[in-house]
Structure 1
Amino acid sequence: MSMDTAIATPFRSSNGRPIADHYPVVVVGAGPTGLTLANLLARYGTRALLVERNPTTVQEPRAVSIDDESLRTMQAAGVITTVMSHVVAGYGSEYYTPSGRLFLKVEPSEQPYGYPRRNAFRQPTFEAQLRDALETVPTVDTLFGWAQDGFVQDDRQVTVELRNADGERRWIRADYLVAADGARSSIRTALGLGLDGETFQEKWLIVDLENSPTPSRETLVFCDTRRPCIALPGPNGTRRFEFKLLPGESPEAMVAQDTVDALLASHGAHPDSRICRKTVYTFHARLAPRWSAGRVYLAGDACHLTPPFAGQGMNSGIRDAHNLAWKLAWVTGGSMPRHLLDSYEPERREHVRDMIDLALRMGRIMGPRNRAIGVLTQTAFRILGLWPRARDYFAQMKYKPKPRFENGFVIADGRGARATMVGRLLPQPAVRTALRDGVLLDHVLGDGFALIGLTDDMEALARAARLPAIARLRPKVVAVSRAAAEAPQPPEGVERIIDSAGILEAAMGGERDHILIVRPDRYVFSTVKVGEEHVVDRQLAALLGTVMFDTTTAPVPSAAVIGAPA
């Protein structure tokens, strides 16, 4: 069967619809990153195909922690209510010395992005929820049980070869291909890219339990050179234990039932617990040298691997998905030039590196190199805990690097790195609208760009929205007040909201009379003083009309390298 014949012959998706011969976006890999990307593309109305080599989503527990930023992305994808129904929200961590003394407690209560900072979930449930959400979406088709088996690309499109378990082959054309196919990504390999840079390897025994009640809902971290261990909570009576392998220990010996039983008993596992999974993982800290080539983009574990100690591996992939999804939607929809996609890696790479570094630092606390270092570290944390500011820094997880980028699709406002909101994730307070109270901000802003005015001059805000380049963004226009009596009724096209806690104003350093331009992924594109909107409008016009980012375009590999179909 020729490629042209295969493309012309209809076949059906996993959700029963005929597969088209062309999609704006093809996503390979239906893990958390790929499923999130597909759901966001559906939200933006972008036609896409999601391809997964396995017949269903993952069935065994893998990632167990989802953070506030990822939950905000689930809100953007329209699935937050479903996801939260199976999440244990807002847990903390307790760190113990070898003698069982508590030396550090992390108990975050702040919710700057609208959700608790740390939350427990079960990946099989989460993936099934995201897949189910796609079943009735008219714009996204799914193909489970089909593997990507090669692709070719030119300056106009990518042609992807697919193969099922019966050996049947099909070819699909796409404007863009996204590889969310995991650490062993065949697409990354075909591009001639590895996972290199800083490499860190440790082996840990992972034991997942069901029917495992515990007196504490917190993560328990046993910082002991003799055997570092982590016990993590989960929903519906589930729990995970992680035990570090010591030098000379083999994975085969560690998964032996007697060994597992002894380790669980020594760390307080409930005797009625049922083991549903035991395996040895090797944890890595790695980055791909490039995250794209031509019309092919890497996301999630396909381009970075993070040790699990900070719970940020899957969450980093979800950040990739949100960053990439709106850009693909706006580019394929004709609203933005293709150069917008060049901002993906520069915006994400440094934050991923920061999260890897955080995980390595936390790993050193959990598993000190020797007893003396452990004692010094644990004593230092106890002393710092006597200082309220330091105690709050750790308890509220302020050590976690906040997402921020200096390069990419942003316009600097000249306020300096410490003061500016540009390139930062906008806080998400609960606000009051004309119809409702306690509404999370993103529900007001919608799915696209937003123009947020911290000003009583609503006419100026309306005029800013009509400036030529800003108008191209088709932003939702919102005026923010501290109290209902502060400002008159807004003009047509402007919605007024009440931020009674002043969270958005505080994010701007307490300054009013500013306008924020906010992207669909809720990062701040730019800020400008009221009356100076024309300046940022001219800068935006230049950005949209030229090569926008200071980054080198990666060469497109030849067909021979990436496995062209014969």
Structure 2
Amino acid sequence: MPEAAHYPVAVIGAGPVGLTLANLLGRLGVAVLLVERNPTTVQEPRAVSIDDESLRTMQSAGVAEAVLAGVVPGYGSHYYTRRRRRFARVEPTGQPYGYPRRNAFRQPVLEAQLRDALARFPGVETRFGWTLLDHAQDDRGVTLSLEGPDGARRRVTCDYLVGCDGASSRVREILGIALEGTTFDERWLILDLENNENTTRHTEVFCDRRRPCITLPGPDRTRRFEFKLLPGETDADLLDPAMVDRLLRTHGADPRATLRRKVVYRFHARVAPRWSAGRVFLAGDAAHLTPPFAGQGMNSGIRDAQNLAWKLAAVLEGRLGPGLLSSYERERRDHIWQMVRLALRMGGIMAPRSWLHGALTQAGFLALNIWPPARDYVAQMRYKPPPRFHEGFLLPDGRGRASLIGRLLPQPRVRAPGGETVRLDEVLGNRFALLTRGDDPAALDRLSHPVWQRLDAARVVVLPPGAAPAAGAVAEPPGEAGDGFRAALAPYAGQALLLRPDHYVAAGFPLADPDAAARAVEALLAGCESPAVPA
């Protein structure tokens, strides 16, 4: 066997999560080996909803505009009783992170876009049709045994290995880690249609305990229908062409549409008890499985990729110590369980356990429509738990629920010094940044401690609307409130925020006492010097 080639990071699995991780690492200058057992990216529709957080990650990966060209942006959901009376409407209009909250997409298109984008990076190598046979690690790195499509075997080494290889993850299996949680008895029939002329641009949810159904929009005249199997029904019963035709006909499908895919699946609420062992990490479905009702399975995996990418890059380039990597699971685990619980609650609305339970739930939603704040809580998707870290690479400031620490910073549009209007992340970049909002373009000049140079932190002052941007400053365009950006930063007047490369807020501190802030950040960095999670 020839001498093993070496890569800083090896990623197993080229689904949306693995492809996103490889693109993020490529943009950060990290060489990557991406291994996929299938000969190409997925060719059939699977995930169908991409949210605003994931689109912001696509922006970080440098592919947002290409991805946006292939999505149906900003669709909502309408919920109906069994008598087809609408009792709830979800149509979020805000764009706190710079993009519509819910968007329909086609997974084969997204994966092809992400694969093509890897050609930008000479340090990223892909091996499709290759299978991971085994991996082993020591304190110097990880050794992989791979088998190619011709049966030839190769050995490669890497500093870090990330398993993005799905629910039946080979990486996780070798680690001896089993998913914990529940595999539900519920089964659902998925029908994917093409050339569908049904013009309803929103999701329709038929909350009928006799046969719950959800139908979702897609790009290019595609639409998905999902039907719950009832007790006593077999997969064959629902896959029968006559049954498929009847279900589609009674739920508004275009009779001339082409049936692209039909499959029965069970849903899961399962999470790995640990997401890493030494130099090996798990992400996406390899680490957690989420019921589909909130559309957060793939999106949760993309959050994993965003969280892990900058940390791997910071450790590999020596900017931060390997202990930083232990914050990955600590930061992500709580939010995963929040998404699982949200999906289960939404599933309970779609498929009420009894006639009375359904009637009371639907009556409750109708009552909420009477009070505008309650109605908007539903319509604007404020029930979706926002991403927030309570521990990890951050310095809590004691402000409780009003705190920005551990939160994803809102992304307004800003006017750059050249006069163009861009999303804020285009100015921040995928790096550490010091940000403040005020009317002094030189507000951050007094931050001269070496710790800021160690982080290579960009400095950005956001000026009030109408101000003329100067070097190192941007201005909010007149009339744009940035979906809460000003309100979020209002408690931090006279302060600076330390932003991480994933645009989460790590710390906030008064500009009047920069030395104390620097000492606190130095202590945070010192905490990263401990070893990563042992194998």
- TM-score under structure 2 normalisation? 0.97
Q: Is 1:240 the counterpart of 2:218 in the alignment?
A: no
Partner Cα separation in structure 2 for residue 240 and residue 340 of structure 1: 41
Aligned residue runs from structure 1 range 56-75, under 5 A: 56-75=40-59
Q: 1:475 aligns with which of 457, 466, 477?
A: 457
Partner of 1:18: none
* Greater Cα shift, 532-541 or 137-146: 532-541
Q: 2:514 aligns with which of 533, 538, 541?
A: 533
Deviation at 1:151, TM superposition (A): 0.7
Deviation at 1:460, TM superposition (A): 4.2
Deviation at 1:372, TM superposition (A): 1.1
Q: 2:301 aligns with which of 317, 320, 333?
A: 317
Q: 1:427 aligns with which of 403, 410, 425?
A: 410
Partner of 2:253: 269
Q: 2:444 aligns with which of 461, 467, 470?
A: 461
Partner Cα separation in structure 2 for residue 199 and residue 280 of structure 1: 14
Q: 1:497 aligns with which of 459, 462, 475?
A: 475
Deviation at 1:234, TM superposition (A): 0.3
Partner Cα separation in structure 1 for residue 272 and residue 321 of structure 2: 26
How many percent identity over aligned positions? 57
* Structure 1 counterpart SS, 2:401: coil
* Greater Cα shift, 451-460 or 50-59: 451-460
* Structure 1 counterpart SS, 2:305: helix
Do the aligned residues in 2 keep the contact of 1:91 with 1:107 (CA within 8 Å)? yes
Deviation at 1:495, TM superposition (A): 2.8
Partner Cα separation in structure 1 for residue 327 and residue 54 of structure 2: 20
Q: 1:188 aligns with which of 172, 175, 183?
A: 172
Partner of 1:89: 73
Residue identity in the other structure for 1:461: L
Aligned residue runs from structure 1 range 353-432, under 5 A: 353-414=337-398, 416-432=399-415
Partner of 1:513: 494
Partner deviation per Cα, 1:147-199 (whole Å, 9 max, x = no partner): 11101100110001110232210011100000000000011111111110355
Partner Cα separation in structure 2 for residue 437 and residue 457 of structure 1: 21
Partner of 1:296: 280
* Greater Cα shift, 451-460 or 404-413: 451-460
Q: Is 1:171 the counterpart of 2:155 in the alignment?
A: yes
Residue identity in the other structure for 1:427: P
Partner deviation per Cα, 1:291-344 (whole Å, 9 max, x = no partner): 000000000000100011000000000000000001111111111111111100
Deviation at 1:456, TM superposition (A): 3.5
Partner Cα separation in structure 2 for residue 101 and residue 502 of structure 1: 36
Partner deviation per Cα, 1:415-462 (whole Å, 9 max, x = no partner): x22111000000000111221343100011112111111233444412
Q: Is 1:105 the counterpart of 2:105 in the alignment?
A: no
Partner of 1:17: none
Deviation at 1:541, TM superposition (A): 1.1
* Structure 2 counterpart SS, 1:127: helix
Task: Provide structure 2 residue ranges, at least 5 long, that are not aligned to the other structure.
Answer: none
* Greater Cα shift, 468-477 or 25-34: 468-477
* Structure 2 counterpart SS, 1:480: strand
Partner deviation per Cα, 1:347-375 (whole Å, 9 max, x = no partner): 00000100000000000000000111111
Partner of 1:442: 425
Deviation at 1:481, TM superposition (A): 1.3
Partner Cα separation in structure 2 for residue 65 and residue 499 of structure 1: 30
Partner Cα separation in structure 2 for residue 422 and residue 386 of structure 1: 35
Do the aligned residues in 1 keep the contact of 2:145 with 2:153 (CA within 8 Å)? yes
Do the aligned residues in 2 keep the contact of 1:212 with 1:239 (CA within 8 Å)? yes
* Greater Cα shift, 506-515 or 325-334: 506-515
Partner Cα separation in structure 1 for residue 344 and residue 517 of structure 2: 40
Deviation at 1:545, TM superposition (A): 2.2
Partner Cα separation in structure 2 for residue 252 and residue 54 of structure 1: 28
* Structure 2 counterpart SS, 1:462: coil
Do the aligned residues in 1 keep the contact of 2:414 with 2:474 (CA within 8 Å)? no
Partner Cα separation in structure 2 for residue 217 and residue 101 of structure 1: 18
Residue identity in the other structure for 1:525: A
Partner of 2:333: 349
Residues 287 and 383 of structure 1, relative CA distance in 2, 3 Å threshold: same
Do the aligned residues in 1 keep the contact of 2:165 with 2:285 (CA within 8 Å)? yes
Partner Cα separation in structure 1 for residue 365 and residue 57 of structure 2: 33
Partner of 1:123: 107
Partner deviation per Cα, 1:19-73 (whole Å, 9 max, x = no partner): xx11110000000000000000011111111000000000010000000000000
* Structure 2 counterpart SS, 1:249: coil
Residue identity in the other structure for 1:535: A
* Structure 2 counterpart SS, 1:347: helix
* Structure 2 counterpart SS, 1:178: strand
Do the aligned residues in 2 keep the contact of 1:405 with 1:423 (CA within 8 Å)? yes
Deviation at 1:554, TM superposition (A): 4.5
- TM-score under structure 1 normalisation? 0.91
Q: Is 1:27 the counterpart of 2:8 in the alignment?
A: no
Residues 553 and 135 of structure 1, relative CA distance in 2, 3 Å threshold: closer
Residues 199 and 276 of structure 1, relative CA distance in 2, 3 Å threshold: closer
Q: Is 1:202 the counterpart of 2:173 in the alignment?
A: no
Q: 2:324 aligns with which of 330, 340, 348?
A: 340
Deviation at 1:519, TM superposition (A): 0.7
RMSD: 1.6
Partner Cα separation in structure 2 for residue 111 and residue 331 of structure 1: 33
Partner Cα separation in structure 2 for residue 107 and residue 92 of structure 1: 4
Aligned residue runs from structure 1 range 242-257, under 5 A: 242-257=226-241
* Structure 2 counterpart SS, 1:544: helix
Do the aligned residues in 1 keep the contact of 2:172 with 2:178 (CA within 8 Å)? yes
Partner Cα separation in structure 2 for residue 49 and residue 540 of structure 1: 33
Partner Cα separation in structure 2 for residue 189 and residue 40 of structure 1: 26
* Structure 1 counterpart SS, 2:523: helix
Partner Cα separation in structure 2 for residue 470 and residue 412 of structure 1: 19
Partner Cα separation in structure 1 for residue 512 and residue 440 of structure 2: 10
Partner of 1:157: 141
* Structure 2 counterpart SS, 1:297: strand
Do the aligned residues in 2 keep the contact of 1:202 with 1:282 (CA within 8 Å)? yes
Do the aligned residues in 2 keep the contact of 1:6 with 1:169 (CA within 8 Å)? no
Do the aligned residues in 1 keep the contact of 2:164 with 2:286 (CA within 8 Å)? yes
Partner Cα separation in structure 1 for residue 268 and residue 419 of structure 2: 47
Do the aligned residues in 2 keep the contact of 1:305 with 1:313 (CA within 8 Å)? yes
